[in-house]
């Protein structure tokens, strides 16, 4: 006999989400998710698909025809990129300067790639000369890099120089834009990026479930010339093109509600204007960064490659980062995150993304963060930090 389970109504707490993702979702996106379902081949939904693709092209700054939301989280879009572009025997150059470079390595390896590395310390970008040297020594077929490294708070600069090196050596470039799309400057076509993937839950402020992916003709040509089938049926871009291309033939049931959501999130990007959105993230994150430094705390990344959408803040001496994160959640309903991998216990990761990126949240974070650090005995100047933040926000 089955036990009668007593399960209450769904009533999650209302948090201020300022970790590395998800960010808070705009009410319009939540409303879009509550609208009626239609079939995934319904004429109405086919129009929604076309609109979503066009909005994605605007946000990616690309004219790529093959621009779609992959069914799944950002990791699904990431795996779609590697599983299709990389085939057994390809040499794949991946970075060592953060947690998500390691994930790139794992996915490329599972696709049959032979892995080589371009090295840089965690918290620093890849250097052009090191990438050039890696190409000379290894002649990779695919070069992958993380544009905005969520684990370190570092933004990859000199992207056009890196892609030029790759193209001079006839390699395909894959860019992780999970923490940059919609939040910091990103120019897929202008910068020569062949494949870019992202997630919905960060700077787009959309629940995860449909994840942006774009490929240019060079990448598609490499995929078409594959001698082996893509190892993933679900993420086979050739098969998916039957649904997202002109034919609209069934492949799998699309996550209809998730596509409603990302379409509305992208409408918000379009209404704000992508350049205005980049400027908003920079302005608000600059206030946070200046306030933190005025308190006497260091950022993990140097000024020239600081990432506005994800602020990696050094844990002050003598402070238990676990206690700070726990206190912020329990007392202030504020979520931030600890460091990953090589930076575990060394940094706090504070997002300034999408709908969460507003003056109220920045001010609230600075007050709560300063209070939590003081409770841990940190030698900081909270008043100076708050004054500097308010000055920047004026």
pLDDT tens for the chain, residues 1 to 394: 567 788 899 999 999 999 999 999 999 999 999 999 999 999 999 999 999 999 999 999 999 999 999 999 999 999 999 999 999 999 999 999 999 999 999 999 999 999 999 999 999 999 999 999 999 999 999 999 999 999 999 999 999 999 999 999 999 999 999 999 999 999 999 999 999 999 999 999 999 999 999 999 999 999 999 999 999 999 999 999 999 998 899 999 999 999 999 999 999 999 999 999 999 999 999 999 999 999 999 999 999 999 999 999 999 999 999 999 999 999 999 999 999 999 999 999 999 999 999 999 999 999 999 999 999 999 999 999 999 999 999 8
Rounded to 5 degrees, what angle do the CA atoms 191, 246, 237 make? 55
Q: How many C-beta atoms surround the C-beta of residue 197 within 10 A?
A: 25
DSSP assignment letter at 318: T
The first and second tokens of residue 307, run together, are 């990432």
> What kind of fold does domain 27-271 have according to CATH?
3.40.640
Instruction: Map out the domains of the chain as residue ranges.
Output: 27-271, 274-393
Q: What is the rounded CA–CA span in Å between residue 294 and residue 232?
A: 50
Q: How many C-beta atoms surround the C-beta of residue 9 within 10 A?
A: 4
The first and second tokens of residue 150, run together, are 């969520």
Class of domain 274-393: alpha beta
Q: What is the rounded CA–CA span in Å between residue 32 and residue 120?
A: 42
Q: In three state form, how does the secondary structure of 45-64 look?
A: HHHHHHHHHHHHHHHHCCCC
């Amino acid at each position: 006999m089955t036990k009668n389970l007593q399960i209450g109504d769904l009533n999650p707490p209302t948090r201020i989400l300022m970790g590395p993702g998800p960010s808070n979702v705009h009410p319009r996106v939540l409303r879009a998710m509550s609208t009626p379902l239609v079939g995934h081949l319904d004429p109405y939904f086919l129009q929604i698909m076309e609109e979503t693709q066009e909005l994605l092209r605007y946000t990616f700054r690309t004219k790529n025809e093959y621009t779609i939301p992959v069914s799944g989280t950002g990791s699904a879009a990431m795996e779609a990129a590697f599983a299709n572009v990389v085939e057994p025997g390809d040499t794949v150059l991946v970075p060592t300067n953060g947690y998500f470079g390691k994930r790139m390595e794992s996915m490329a390896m599972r696709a049959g790639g032979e892995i080589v590395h371009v090295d840089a310390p965690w918290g620093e970008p890849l250097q052009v000369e090191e990438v050039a040297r890696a190409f000379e020594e290894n002649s990779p077929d695919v070069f992958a890099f993380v544009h905005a490294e969520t684990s370190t708070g570092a933004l990859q600069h000199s992207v056009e120089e890196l892609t030029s090196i790759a193209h001079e050596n006839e390699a395909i470039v894959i860019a992780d834009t999970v923490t940059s799309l919609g939040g910091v400057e990103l120019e897929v076509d202008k910068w020569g990026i062949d494949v870019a993937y992202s997630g919905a839950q960060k700077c787009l402020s959309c629940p995860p479930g449909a994840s942006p992916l774009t490929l240019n003709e060079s990448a598609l040509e490499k995929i078409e010339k594959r001698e082996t089938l893509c190892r993933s049926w679900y993420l086979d871009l050739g098969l998916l093109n039957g649904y997202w291309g002109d034919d609209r033939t069934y492949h799998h049931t699309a996550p209809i509600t998730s596509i409603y959501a990302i379409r509305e999130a992208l409408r918000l990007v379009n209404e704000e204007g992508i350049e205005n959105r980049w400027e908003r993230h920079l302005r608000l994150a600059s206030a946070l960064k200046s306030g933190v430094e005025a308190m006497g705390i260091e950022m993990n990344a140097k000024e020239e490659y600081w990432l506005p959408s994800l602020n990696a803040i050094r844990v002050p001496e003598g402070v238990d980062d676990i206690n700070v994160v726990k206190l912020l959640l329990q007392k202030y309903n504020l979520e931030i995150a600890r460091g990953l991998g090589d930076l575990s216990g060394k940094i706090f990761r504070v997002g300034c993304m999408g709908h969460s990126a507003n003056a109220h949240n920045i001010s609230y974070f600075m007050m709560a963060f300063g209070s939590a650090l003081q409770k841990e005995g940190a030698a900081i100047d909270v008043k100076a930090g708050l004054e500097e933040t308010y000055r920047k926000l004026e």
